[in-house]
Amino acid sequence: MKKRFAILLAAVMLLSACGGPTSPGTSSSESSASSGQTSVSASTQVPGGNAVQFEPSATVEETVLVDESDVKITATGLKYTAYDVKLSLAIENNSDKNLSFYSGTLGYNCNSVNGYMVDDGYLNADIAAGKKSNETVSFSVDELTLLGISDIADIELGFNITDDQYNDYLLTGPRQLKTSIADSYNYEEDTYRQAIADNVPALGFALDYDSENEVYDQKGIHVISQTLVTNSSGEQALLVEIENTSSDTVYVSVGDITINGLGVQSGNWSTDWISAGKHRVVTINLSSVLDKSYQTAFGLENIGQITYFLEPKDSVLDTLVVPQTLTFAVPGRNTSFDASGEELYREDGIHIVSKGLVPDSFELSDDIHLLLLVENSASEQLSFDIDFNSVSVNGYMTNFICFSRTVAPGGSGVLDVELMGLSLEENGITEPESITEVELTVEAKNDSYKTIAKPVVTAKGN
């Protein structure tokens, strides 16, 4: 469910071809040296001259990255365009098997640039036994610019190689390619922090609140900054900067996201590889966990608090530290949500409220969403879901999608019941105003999977 970092950046920032602004942005800031936090509003002009620009000069010599198990991968050249950095690779499959070569995928990505893990460097190449192939992997200038990278000192790529039966053939781990500026590059400098201070305001990208307080320090894993940002469409994201100072590769999972105390996502949001000595900026796109158009129904127009769990894991995905809940708060902002609505059920320590019907935010979709608020006042954690084959609209059975929601004792969460447009249209329903009632069964289970309640509820139309 995680949206790629580079995609988010492209949405929230308009970078010029060289990565710098063409005109001043709109923002003002005030900071507290003692707290290490900055609040920025988009009310006054600030100069854009300090923004880091991507102005590469580095070159590479032909470098063998992998030469083992009858496989050879050689970096042959580096090319720059207005939008990306292109690394050329010569791949040789000298084995007697047909092989597939992957890099930068959701399942295997240990790629980094200048000490920062990146989402780019995607490769998917099928090479027959005894054959060769020339391939290219790319890195987005948008992502590099927000990370404060103005030139390329090194690139690390990892390759997952499988046979034609999808069995693992070779997992290389990260392989480093140094450029002509590597020996003079200052890896101690946190260029991302400089970019947050300089690039974001200068580019007119609203910085809602920025905290450099270290909120996590376990097993060499540090959460060293958290930043809430807003794009021109009003969509928000929390950028979490994580540093791995250990000598081992780790995976870091985040999830169970709440906004202003309201659960909007359950389970893992993302799990990311962080190589030893590297930084990773994890993006929690709040408009993906709960669409901006639905946030209004719950009174979440101004986000004041975000919580999420953080769980470090070792290289074989065994938990290193028990998951810990981290909190990001914007001083002075409201941290509550709107719990009002049509009451559907109140028994067994469970309260269910309808927040109404809304059209799907995707303009090409005919789906309609019933938004439910579930409150858990029981003494144990409960998981809420919609019973299969229980949803009817205006008396007609209707197909739907709904992700379960886990709610702690005393907590609340969102159940987004997405009524499928094709199913609705078959019954003559084309818009929310056509719906008079939605009947469904809500099932609440505890951690032992025992059903605590299974009420049949009916929500009225708008």
CB 409 within 8 A of CB 381: yes
Q: Give the integer Cα–Cα distance in Å for 283 and 287.
A: 11
Say whether both 273 and 352 belong to one domain: no
Q: In 99-235, which ranges are E strands?
A: 99-103, 112-113, 116-117, 123-127, 132-140, 154-163, 168-178, 206-211, 216-218, 221-230
Asked, for residue 417, whether it belongs to a domain, the answer is yes
CATH number at residue 321: 2.60.40.1150
Say whether both 180 and 286 belong to one domain: no
Task: Select from 250, 253, 231 the least CA-distant residue to 240.
Answer: 253
Say whether both 81 and 121 belong to one domain: yes
Q: Note down the domain range covering 404.
A: 342-460
Say whether both 246 and 319 belong to one domain: yes
Say whether both 267 and 351 belong to one domain: no
3-state SS class at 278: coil
Say whether both 94 and 149 belong to one domain: yes
Say whether both 358 and 319 belong to one domain: no
| Pairing relationship of beta strands 268-274 and 262-263 according to DSSP bridges | unpaired
CATH number at residue 125: 2.60.40.2550
Say whether both 363 and 258 belong to one domain: no
What is the C-alpha end-to-end distance of the chain, expressed in Å? Answer: 30
Of 329, 358, 380, the domain-final residue: 329
Angle in degrees, CA 386, 287, 225, rounded to 5: 120
Of 308, 329, 350, the domain-final residue: 329
Asked, for residue 12, whether it belongs to a domain, the answer is no
Predicted pLDDT at 206: 83
CATH number at residue 360: 2.60.40.10
Predicted pLDDT at 203: 54
Asked, for residue 167, whether it belongs to a domain, the answer is yes
Say whether both 347 and 317 belong to one domain: no
Say whether both 90 and 164 belong to one domain: yes
Say whether both 263 and 306 belong to one domain: yes
| pLDDT tens, N- to C-terminus, the chain (462 residues) | 444 444 444 444 333 223 332 332 333 333 333 334 433 332 222 333 456 688 899 999 999 999 999 999 999 999 999 999 999 999 999 999 999 999 999 889 999 999 999 999 999 999 999 999 999 999 999 889 889 999 999 999 999 999 999 999 999 999 999 999 999 999 999 999 988 877 666 555 788 999 999 999 999 999 999 999 988 778 889 999 999 999 999 999 999 999 999 999 999 999 999 999 999 999 999 989 999 889 999 999 889 999 999 999 998 999 999 999 999 999 999 999 999 999 999 998 999 999 999 999 888 899 999 999 999 999 999 999 999 999 999 999 999 999 999 999 999 999 999 999 999 999 999 899 999 999 999 999 999 999 999 999 999 987
| Pairing relationship of beta strands 412-419 and 368-376 according to DSSP bridges | antiparallel
**How many domains does the chain divide into?**
3
Of 184, 205, 222, the domain-final residue: 184
